[in-house]
Amino acid sequence: MERLPSLISQLSSFRSSVLFRPASRLQIARASSSSSTRMEAGHYKFGPYQIDQKEVFYSTDLSYALVNLRPLLPGNVLVCPRREVKRFIDLTTEETSDLWISAQKIGKQLENYHKASSLTFAIQDGPQAGQTVPHVHIHIVPRKGGDFDNNDEIYDAIDEKEKELKKTLDLDKERKDRSMVEMAQEADEYRKLFS
């Protein structure tokens, strides 16, 4: 019984913080629940790298999606938080929710667009997990029967592509796999899916 006033006080404090949050926090749910292709005049960063706005095809207040420099399969894209966050555990609850809601919407559209039958969602969280760009990102890969002999080979392929990408970015070489024109065209096509 002695703990009851303390619990009521804590509950009251919690309710106040939930009910009287600034409007921007409440808008997160709206941003997550409606698809957005608006590309703000701002810029996008992927770890230490500047991302050209032409590569981005989906955006919310907290997340964005871009086409992949070296896709494993058609439709292989990345979904990232706007804030530069190295590890998944360092995302806020709102960022985590928005990131996964965005990934769900994007995956659904890309699965249909590429006439796939399944999706692979993958996160490499930290260097020992194969993460080469220090910015949380979800790989979305539309899948079809027979695209890999063994389904789990896709994880090795993601790991290998990440290593190749790091070498390309670190050495500042020309992009060999896809040109900016190719990536911009793909992003343009994907933007139409969300308008």
Q: Which CATH number fits the domain that encloses residue 92?
A: 3.30.428.10
Residue 63 lies in a domain: yes
Residue numbers of the chain with a pLDDT score lower than 50:
1, 3-39, 41, 169-175
The Cα 51–Cα 54 span in angstroms is: 8
CA distances from 20 to 14, 17, 76, 152 (A): 10, 6, 40, 46
- Residues labelled as active-site residues: 137
Q: Annotated binding residue at 185?
A: no
Residue 117 lies in a domain: yes
Q: What is the pLDDT of residues 61-83, one digit of tens each?
A: 999 999 999 888 999 999 999 99
Q: What is the pLDDT of residue 43?
A: 81
Residue 175 lies in a domain: yes
Q: What is the pLDDT of residue 153?
A: 75
Q: Annotated binding residue at 43?
A: no
Residue 14 lies in a domain: no
Parent domain of 166: 34-192
Q: Annotated binding residue at 132?
A: yes
pTM score: 0.72
Q: Which two tokens stand for residue 166?
A: 């790091």
Q: What is the pLDDT of residue 149?
A: 76
Of 24, 123, 132, 137, the C-alpha closest to 81 is 137
Q: Annotated binding residue at 130?
A: yes
The Cα 101–Cα 125 span in angstroms is: 19
The Cα 155–Cα 143 span in angstroms is: 13
Q: Which amino acid is at 84?
A: E
Question: Is residue 25 exposed (0-12), middle (13-18) or buried (19+ Cβ within 10 Å)?
Answer: exposed
The Cα 68–Cα 71 span in angstroms is: 5
Q: Annotated binding residue at 131?
A: yes
Residue 159 lies in a domain: yes
Q: What is the pLDDT of residue 107?
A: 98
